[in-house]
């Protein structure tokens, strides 16, 4: 069985195979969004821009004569899948924008492919079928994302643009530092498109982070100058906060990889509306990118966790406090909620956002270091929403040792989810149900919510 993701390219000196073309049958989709194919010589190709069942010409993008695993792009489609569509975006495709890798698949097919990746990861890493995980095997579209054929849902409320040497804004090519200039990003939310970042030139600027908050109308750009570069006088098409960013200096989760940002004009944060509250999100702080995600995930988590009045609840990796706020409403005044978050700015935001809820406490630091220091020995319900890498065995053990009756695990990476579910099973917890959401249409990314509970006692 090939690995789910291509191993790192061999640094060896064997002749490069980049540019070689193979005619291959495309096999299943794998974690990371590429499909698996085999060459006649027995090499495994991880092919982008292809679909299962197709026959394509795959051109090698990474790999050497001595590598068994190669990366490639489908550059010619000999026998197309019925799920193939013309990519609506002119900048999608081999060697172009590295952002949307599944523009060539019909929306329903994208969700089926995401479902098969989740199923494969659950089977491979946790030894579970969809039924074992309490999952109906589908990926649910976000409300409002059903658009007429040939159109693309404009869902991305945060876009990270890179700027090329000529000052044009675009996105990085796949696994490259080269910028693909674009004149419009089709998945950008209308509020981001209105900022007109692609329409102007950005001399001396390395990156432009554009945000359009949901519900408040707040708009923000963070401009990070090139080394030695100066900030231009910014005149955008509408009122917008402008901040100057610095390249990140901190390392690892302890510093949250946080980079300094300085206010130039306007607010140093945006206000997001979700679950009936307003959330302050400082520049660079985490907030779900899809405008419907926060409400959707809170609903899925709360339905699965069923927090009750008077209970003790944890929100681990709490960001600006989204789940902590929803938990506090449910556990009521006799209950208590503890949030833990590593980013200093996010902790300040969470404390600000939840200041009216005195049963909520937010601690700063790494979950695995802070949780044992809190003195908490029991919890009734726990939410974990870790970064892509997952929570890991140590944190899973710490959570399980608190004996919660339900755990909600929110995951943007099905592999990390499956690995952590396997650790939870070792600690006596089993999946109760799982839901998957298409919060990143046109890309291979997918969001899952898994609810776990103690395994039934054997008599």
Q: Which are the catalytic amino acids?
A: 412
SS3 content of the chain, % helix, strand, coil (to 5): 20, 30, 50
CB of 245 to ligand SAM, least distance (A): 17
What string of DSSP letters covers 85-129? ---SSTT-STTSBSS-S-TTB-HHHHHHHHHHHHHHHHHHHH---
CB of 291 to ligand SAM, least distance (A): 13
C-beta of 93 vs 256, nearer to ligand SAM = 256
C-beta of 242 vs 396, nearer to ligand SAM = 396
C-beta of 208 vs 324, nearer to ligand SAM = 324
CB of 71 to ligand SAM, least distance (A): 27
Alpha-carbon span 157 to 316, nearest angstrom? 24
CB of 150 to ligand SAM, least distance (A): 32
* Exposure string for 43-71, b = 16+ CB within 10 A, e = fewer: bbbbbbbbbbbbbbebbbbbbbeebebbb
Residue 416: closest CA among 382, 444, 387: 387
C-beta of 62 vs 413, nearer to ligand SAM = 413
C-beta of 323 vs 424, nearer to ligand SAM = 323
Alpha-carbon span 217 to 226, nearest angstrom? 29
C-beta of 186 vs 382, nearer to ligand SAM = 382
Alpha-carbon span 5 to 46, nearest angstrom? 8
CB of 339 to ligand SAM, least distance (A): 9
Binding site for ligand SAM (CB under 6 A): 253, 256, 286-288, 317-320, 322-323, 340-343, 346, 366-367, 385, 387
Alpha-carbon span 162 to 181, nearest angstrom? 8
CB of 457 to ligand SAM, least distance (A): 32
Residue nearest to ligand SAM (CB): 319
The structure tokens 């876009």 sit at 159
The DSSP letter of residue 444 is S
Residue 120: closest CA among 20, 14, 34: 34
């Amino acid at each position: 069985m090939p690995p789910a993701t291509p191993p790192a390219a061999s640094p060896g000196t064997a002749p490069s195979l980049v540019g070689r073309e193979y005619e291959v049958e495309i096999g299943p989709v794998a974690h990371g969004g590429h499909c698996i194919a085999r060459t006649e010589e027995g090499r495994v190709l991880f092919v982008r821009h292809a679909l299962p069942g197709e026959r394509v010409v795959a051109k090698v993008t990474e790999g050497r004569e001595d590598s068994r695993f190669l990366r490639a792009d489908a550059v010619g489609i000999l026998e197309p899948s019925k799920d193939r569509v013309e990519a609506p975006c002119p900048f999608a495709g081999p060697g172009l924008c590295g952002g949307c890798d599944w523009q060539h698949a019909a929306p329903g097919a994208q969700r089926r492919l995401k479902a098969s990746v989740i199923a494969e990861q659950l089977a491979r890493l946790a030894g579970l079928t969809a039924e074992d995980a309490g999952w109906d095997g589908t990926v649910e579209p976000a409300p409002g994302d059903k658009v007429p054929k040939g159109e693309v849902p404009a869902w991305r409320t945060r876009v990270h643009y890179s700027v090329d040497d000529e000052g044009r804004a675009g996105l990085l090519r796949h696994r490259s530092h080269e910028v693909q200039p674009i004149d419009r990003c089709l998945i950008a939310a209308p509020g981001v498109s209105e900022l007109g970042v692609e329409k102007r030139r950005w001399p001396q600027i390395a990156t432009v982070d554009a945000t359009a908050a949901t519900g408040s109308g707040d708009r923000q750009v963070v401009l990070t100058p090139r080394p030695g570069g100066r900030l231009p006088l910014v005149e955008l098409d509408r009122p917008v906060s402008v901040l100057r960013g610095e390249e990140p200096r901190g390392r690892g989760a302890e510093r949250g990889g946080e980079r300094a940002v300085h206010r130039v004009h306007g607010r140093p944060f945006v206000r997001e509306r979700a679950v009936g509250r307003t959330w302050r999100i400082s520049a660079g702080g985490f907030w779900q990118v899809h405008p419907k995600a926060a409400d959707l995930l809170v609903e899925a988590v709360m339905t699965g966790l069923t927090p009750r009045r008077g209970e003790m609840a944890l929100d681990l990796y709490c960001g600006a406090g989204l789940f902590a706020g929803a938990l506090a409403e449910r556990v009521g005044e006799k209950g208590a909620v503890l949030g833990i978050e590593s980013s200093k700015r996010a902790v300040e935001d969470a404390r600000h956002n939840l200041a009216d809820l005195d049963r909520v406490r937010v601690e700063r630091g790494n979950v695995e270091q802070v949780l044992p220091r809190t003195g908490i020995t029991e919890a009734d319900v726990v939410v974990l929403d870790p970064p892509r890498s997952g929570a890991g065995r140590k944190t899973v053990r710490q959570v399980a040792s608190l004996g919660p009756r339900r755990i909600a695990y929110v995951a943007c990476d099905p592999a990390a989810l499956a690995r952590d579910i396997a650790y939870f099973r070792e600690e006596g917890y089993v999946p109760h149900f799982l839901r998957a959401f298409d919060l990143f249409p046109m890309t291979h990314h997918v969001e899952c919510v898994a609810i776990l509970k103690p395994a039934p006692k054997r008599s």
